[in-house]
Amino acid sequence: MYLIKKDINRIERINEIAFSEFGFREREHLQEWIANEPSCLGEDLLIIQKEFDGFSDTRERLDLLALDKEGNLVVIENKLDDTGKDVTWQSLKYASYCSRLTNNDIKKIYQQYLDKQGIDVDAEEKIAEFYNDDYENLILNKGISQRIILIARKFRKEVTSTVLWLMNYNLNLQCFKVTPYELNGQLLLNIEQILPMKDAEDYIIKMAEKTQIDISNEKKSKSIDIIQYEFWMKLLKAMNNKSNLFKNISPIKGNCLGATSGIYSGVYFQFRIKKESAEVEIYIETENKEKNEKIFDSLFGHKVEIEKRFGKNLIWQRKDSVRVRKIIYSEPKDSHNKEEWETIIDFLVDAMIRLEEVSKPYLEKIQID
């Protein structure tokens, strides 16, 4: 920190001091400063308890307990100098203990604090005043909304590393560095948010949210893979009892399962399952687009006969922007619902056998140079 000396257009370093030089202590001083001026942490906080030890089956004490403007409980842990290596674990324990507190618990805790401070005020009224709302309308300490604020002069790397990692899991943690200074006999205190960095706070929060979405999507994807593998096992068993088309095919993790037509390389009979539908298809993907078009067009020339023999209208999918050509029959089905699997498998097996029977004679007649 520097002092601007306007008259000579210079800056002068302000001496940084140690808390111990002036006999400052953690509970008697730093804790009291924050309790009496919580806005020093950059927001409106209502301190509802100091040295709180009202947890069942433990006599552990958290330094300060507060409410923020969103109705979240805020656990504030102060360390005068070095954080030590256990402060993150301690604060997480306290947050877990506080997660059980109800509106009524919070009101009682705050009333005890007010009484101990000799403040003759009703806690319910003070809480209502803080939120500018009727107490009956308030929902405090919702779900896992608890926050943690760590305050120290020096943060160990193991603490900051752990905090950064926990933030990826959408836990609301902040670290504030406190530094005392002396200037001409006056003592100054600088309180600086170092994690998340103030200017990057929104970005870090959004990245943490994205990380959680990515993790959730990955878990969901793995779960779907397992479901699909199990589905294909059951389908192949049913299919192989009625046809040899898929005899040499193994179940996979994915939503498509195909077998070669045995006529042209790159022409497959394929099952496809989706959340909303189940499909059978002729999948045409040879080494070049022109050959795909010739096979597709030859079959399309017999569209009326093929669909008449199949018994249903088919989807003839030809997109000029892609090489692949498809002939599809689809029905609305929820393949993720195991209770419907038997019905879906019966449908797919029957549809695939019919699709092979009606298309193979025409496939065999196609002449490709």
Give the pTM. 0.62
The residue assigned the tokens 């002449």 is 367
Domain final residue, candidates 161, 195, 229: 195
Residue type at 332 in one-letter notation = P
The Cα 48–Cα 112 span in angstroms is 9
CB atoms within 10 A of CB 163: 22
- Decide the pairing of beta strands 2-5 and 73-82: unpaired
- Shared domain check, 232 and 88: no
- Shared domain check, 322 and 188: no
- Domain with residue 241: its CATH number is 3.30.1460
Residue 4 resides in a domain: no
- Shared domain check, 229 and 181: no
Local structure of residue 266 (DSSP, 8 states): T
- Shared domain check, 309 and 258: yes
Instruction: Please name the residues in contact with 155: beta carbons below 8 A apart, sequence gap of 6 or more.
Output: 83, 175, 177, 194, 195
Model pLDDT, residue 30: 96
The Cα 106–Cα 110 span in angstroms is 6
Residue 210 resides in a domain: no
Residues 213 and 33 sit within 8 Å (Cβ to Cβ): no
**Helices 201-240 and 341-365 sit at what angle, rounded to 10 degrees?**
70
Biggest distance spanned by C-alpha atoms of the chain: 102
Model pLDDT, residue 174: 95
Residues 279 and 329 sit within 8 Å (Cβ to Cβ): yes
- Taking phi over 0 as left and psi of -120 to 50 as alpha, with beta for the rest, 193 belongs to beta
Local structure of residue 40 (DSSP, 8 states): G
Residues 11 and 5 sit within 8 Å (Cβ to Cβ): yes
Residue 310 resides in a domain: yes
- Shared domain check, 233 and 121: no
- Shared domain check, 288 and 177: no
Residue 133 resides in a domain: yes
Residue 7 resides in a domain: no
Residue 176 resides in a domain: yes
Q: How many separate domains does the chain show?
A: 2
The Cα 110–Cα 231 span in angstroms is 56
- Shared domain check, 244 and 180: no
- Shared domain check, 103 and 59: yes
- List, in sequence order, the alpha helices (H) in the chain: 31-36, 87-98, 103-116, 123-131, 157-167, 201-240, 289-300, 303-310, 341-365
Residue 206 resides in a domain: no
- Shared domain check, 339 and 306: yes
Q: Which domain holds residue 254?
A: 217-365
- Shared domain check, 71 and 186: yes
- Shared domain check, 21 and 148: yes
Model pLDDT, residue 212: 64
Instruction: Please name the residues in contact with 75: beta carbons below 8 A apart, sequence gap of 6 or more.
Output: 62, 64, 65, 91, 94, 95, 98, 146, 147, 148, 149
Residue 234 resides in a domain: yes
Domain final residue, candidates 165, 195, 225: 195
- The per-residue pLDDT string of the chain (369 residues; one tens digit each, 9 = 90 and over) reads 999 999 999 999 999 999 999 999 999 999 999 999 999 999 999 999 999 988 867 778 999 999 999 999 999 999 998 888 899 999 999 999 999 999 999 999 999 999 999 999 999 999 999 999 999 999 999 998 999 999 999 999 999 999 988 988 888 999 999 999 999 899 999 999 999 876 555 656 666 667 667 666 666 656 778 888 999 999 999 999 999 999 999 999 889 999 999 888 899 999 999 889 999 999 999 988 899 999 999 999 999 999 999 999 999 998 887 889 999 999 999 988 899 999 999 999 999 999 999 999 999 998 876
The tokens for 215 are: 């993790």
- Domain with residue 61: its CATH number is 3.40.1350.10
The Cα 18–Cα 80 span in angstroms is 10
- Shared domain check, 230 and 161: no
Domain final residue, candidates 162, 195, 228: 195
Model pLDDT, residue 64: 97
Model pLDDT, residue 222: 66
